Structure 1
């Protein structure tokens, strides 16, 4: 079976995208998705997305991890799928689409960035001085010094596979606060490695660092580039109108034969 694929990336978080509006790829197996995301034998990506049609929405987002499992929300992926939908002829100034964690709004900014509305966050849990927050996917946020030299793989793997998180898994963000911005590195479950960027992780990190502060916008650096998180926060530290802002770019397209 030959399939046509498209490759997109958002701050180095890369995705295989399939146009599934005719449902021709709905029957992909876990092993086939894993193959497509494999960086040696397939195309190579942090995840795979399907662009589906859905009544009442501009499209539906279906996202899978690189290991072939269906995933929770992916912020960088959401922006890339908006860009893909636009490239495929779904031309709008404002989008409404459905993902696994609910509906999302999105729009194009003046600088070419895409603004993606994330879910509200009304609670944060604490674990040994670190923050646990769900921004569409669960994240463990740990503030560290000199994050560029931090052993993200080993420490992220340890936390993700600890007794408390082993069954469901959790993404682990390591954050250094640098004056007017934060620097975030992420170990992602499903990929089981560090990725260049993670949209829900960037969002979780920004909100955790804005906890009990007067900020309503946080500039974020990742290995793959820069993003920003905008939000409104009330006196009880409930976060609403949360927007993940950043680039999304087409890389290439091609055909591949599934085994």
Structure 2
């Protein structure tokens, strides 16, 4: 069975997009996702994105990390599939309904409302999510926030100096986070600018993480470090995050179609 795909990226965070909205595809599982995401023996990507029919939105987006785990939300992928759709869209995700539209050369996505309750992150037990009383070596007292998926945000003097490749997996899999967690280390540069590095749950170090940018901006806003609109610069580029008075998060940034192709499904099944 020959299947077409679209390779896309948002600031270097790359995806294989499979469109099953019109023609049904065989079931996608963790093993299939791992094999097609492999950069040596597969097509290669950070996330595999599957588009399906939805009864409550224009379409449904399922997201599989390169380790095969299925996750609730992906900000960069949301911009990518909105670009592919080519017009305003309501998108069903595991983290809830989101909406997206083209904004000039960029894509703007309404990422919904952040959640701060300890059991909505979720955490293993009740604690202050604005300054968690936990630490891993010199990374201490993170902000916890759920923006469709769980994030821990650490504010440091120089995020470039943090050994996130070593500390990221330790924090991601700590028992305090029952569903694992995305790990963000951020440096506030002004009332409107933050630098950020992300260890993405199930994918590792990434050039960009849309939900990480949202979570970090919201965390900084909750602590009074930045204004309600901020530019978040990751290794792959910059996203603009706005936390509106209606409590909803808008993420704006680019998305790119890299190339299209096809593969034999049985090769990865």
Q: TM-score, normalised by structure 2?
A: 0.86
Match of 2:69 in 1: 69
Distance in 2 between the 1:62 and 1:69 partners? 11
Structure 1, residues 202-225: CA drift from partner, whole Å, max 9, x if none?
A: 100001111143721011100111
Is it true that 1:243 corresponds to 2:250 in the alignment?
A: yes
Match of 2:261 in 1: 254
The Cα of 1:3 is off from its aligned counterpart by: 1.8
Aligned pairs (5 A) from 1:34-53:
34-53=34-53
RMSD after superposition? 1.7
The Cα of 1:102 is off from its aligned counterpart by: 1.4
Match of 2:108 in 1: 115
Q: TM-score, normalised by structure 1?
A: 0.89
How many residues are treated as equivalent by the alignment? 245
Match of 1:186 in 2: 198
CA contact (8 A) 2:240 2:252 kept: yes
| Structure-2 change in CA distance of 1:163 and 1:18 (3 Å) | same
Match of 1:200 in 2: 211
- SS at the partner of 1:177? strand
CA contact (8 A) 1:2 1:256 kept: yes
| Structure-2 change in CA distance of 1:52 and 1:175 (3 Å) | same
The Cα of 1:255 is off from its aligned counterpart by: 1.4
Distance in 2 between the 1:212 and 1:146 partners? 18
Match of 2:234 in 1: 222
Q: Which runs of 5+ in 1 are unaligned?
A: 87-91, 234-238
